[in-house]
Homo-oligomer: A and B are copies of this chain.
Amino acid sequence: MTDFAKTKSMFHLPDGVIYLDGNSLGPLPKSACDHVSNMMRNEWGAQLITGWNKAGWLELSTDLGDRIARLIGAKPGHVILGDTLSLKVYQALAAALDLNPGRKVVLSDNGNFPSDLYIAQGLLTSLGQGHELRVVDPAAVAANITDDVAVLMLTEVGYRSGRLHDMNALTKLAHSRGVVTLWDLAHSTGAIPVDLAGCDADFAVGCSYKYLNGGPGAPAFIYVAPRHIDHVRPALSGWLGHEAPFDFDLEYRPGAGIERMRIGTPPIIALRALEKAMDIWDLVDMNDLRARAIELSGQFIAGVEKHCPALTLVSPRDGQKRGSQVAFAFENGFAAMQAVIDRGVIGDFRAPDIMRFGITPLYIDEADITAAVAIICDVIRNSLWDNAKYKKRGLVT
C-alpha cells in the first residue's frame, strides 16, 4: 500500500497554502534543490564537457523515460524525454500521418488542449497536401472514427472538465477502421493509471511539469509503440536522433528505437530536477493513487455542492469517468478564484467560467480538502471577490 503521508512529507509545501493546482505545475520535491545544486557544482562545474560521459547526461532522457514508462503502461525503452509537449505532439503526429499516407483527416475534439490543435494546424498547412483537421465534440468522437481518418489525436483527460476518454475502446475502434492513434497524456500521467501497451496505442506524449512535479518548463516525453518505432521517419531529424551522432555524417540516418525521437541537446539541469520527482513516484502504486484520488475528489465535490450551490459541477460526477481534477462553472469564476488564491487555496481558472482544482494524493489529504472547501465556500457564499480588480486573465496551464 502506498504511504501517502510519506510522499506528502517529501514535498516542499508552503505554510498556509493548500495546493490544488498540481495539474498545472506540481510542487517542489524537497530533495530536488540540493540535487540540482550538486549537478551544477559537481558535474557541470567540475567535469565540464566530460560530464556528458562521466555523469551520464545523455542517458538521462532514456533513464527517466523508463521510469515514466511504468506509470503509463509502457515497457522500458519505449519512452524518451525531451523538448516540450507541443513539439512531441508535432513529432508524433507527423510520424502517425506517415503511417497512413492515403488518408487526409486528423480527427480530434474541441476539448483537446488548444496547443495540440494549433500544432496540427501548423503541420497540416506545412504539408500542403489537403489534409483536414476535423474537430468534433468529445461525445461525438467514436461516431466520427470513419474510414477516411488517418490519425485520431486526443487528450485522454480533458484539461478543463477532466472528462476521461475511454482510451482502450477508442483505440480498438480506431484500429478496426485503419486509424492510427495519438494520445496526449498531459493530464493523465501521474493522475490515473494508463495502459498504453494494453490498449495497443500507437503514439503517446505527455509532460512532466504537472502531476509528475518536474518543475516549470520540465521536459516532455514521447512513447512510440514497439511495432512502429523502427520504421517511423522522424520529421524533426536532429543530430542526437542520428544513428551515430558523433560520426558527424552529412546524411541523416535515424537511430535505433526510441533514440530517433531525440532532437537536440537535452536540458540536463531540468532532467536532474525531474529525477528527484521520479524518486517519489517510485514509491507509488498507480492503483492506490487512483483510489485515493477518487475518494478525495468525492469528498471535495460533496463539500462544495453542499455549501456552495452557486457552483455547478462540470466534471463528470462518476469518478471513473474523470481524471484527477474537479471543475466547477461559476459566472464570476476568475475573480472568485483570485480571492480563493488570496486565502491560500490555489486552484486555477479556465475560460470562460471554469474554476479548476487538481486533486493530487501525493501531497493532498482529507484535512486539506476539508480546509479548502471551507475557504472556497466562504468566498463564494459571502461574495468575497472583486470583479472590477480582475479585468485581464492569464494563468499558465
Residues of A within 8 A of B (CB): 12, 14, 17, 19, 21, 24-25, 27-28, 32-33, 36-37, 40-41, 44-46, 48-53, 57-58, 83-87, 90, 94, 110, 113-115, 117-119, 121-123, 125-129, 135, 207, 209, 215-220, 233-240, 242, 245-252, 263-271, 273, 341, 346, 348, 350-351, 393-396
Copies of this chain in its oligomeric complex:
2
CB pair A48 B118 closer than 8 Å: no
Which residues of B have CB within 8 Å of A52? Answer: 25, 216, 395-396
CB pair B119 A84 closer than 8 Å: no
Q: Which residue of B lies closest to A60 (CB)?
A: B217
Cα separation A397 to B50 with both chains bound (whole Å): 11
Which residues of B have CB within 8 Å of A237? Answer: 118-119, 121-122
CB pair A84 B114 closer than 8 Å: no
In the complex, how many angstroms separate the beta carbon of A103 from the nearest chain B beta carbon? 15
In the complex, how many angstroms separate the beta carbon of A240 from the nearest chain B beta carbon? 8
CB pair B114 A248 closer than 8 Å: yes
CB pair A268 B217 closer than 8 Å: yes
CB pair B45 A236 closer than 8 Å: no
A216, A273, A351 interface centre (most CB from chain B within 10 Å) = A216
A217 touches which of B119, B265, B346 (Cβ 8 Å)? B265
User: Which 4 pairs from chain A and chain B are nearest by CB?
Assistant: A84-B264, A122-B237, A115-B239, A86-B238
Beyond A57-B217, A122-B236, A247-B351, 6 additional contacts (C-beta under 8 Å) are A24-B49, A36-B36, A44-B215, A84-B264, A216-B269, A217-B271
Cα separation A123 to B263 with both chains bound (whole Å): 13
CB pair A270 B217 closer than 8 Å: yes
In the complex, how many angstroms separate the beta carbon of A284 from the nearest chain B beta carbon? 21
Cα separation A237 to B84 with both chains bound (whole Å): 12
A27, A90, A240, A249 interface centre (most CB from chain B within 10 Å) = A90
CB pair A40 B49 closer than 8 Å: no
CB pair A264 B36 closer than 8 Å: no
Cα separation A394 to B126 with both chains bound (whole Å): 35
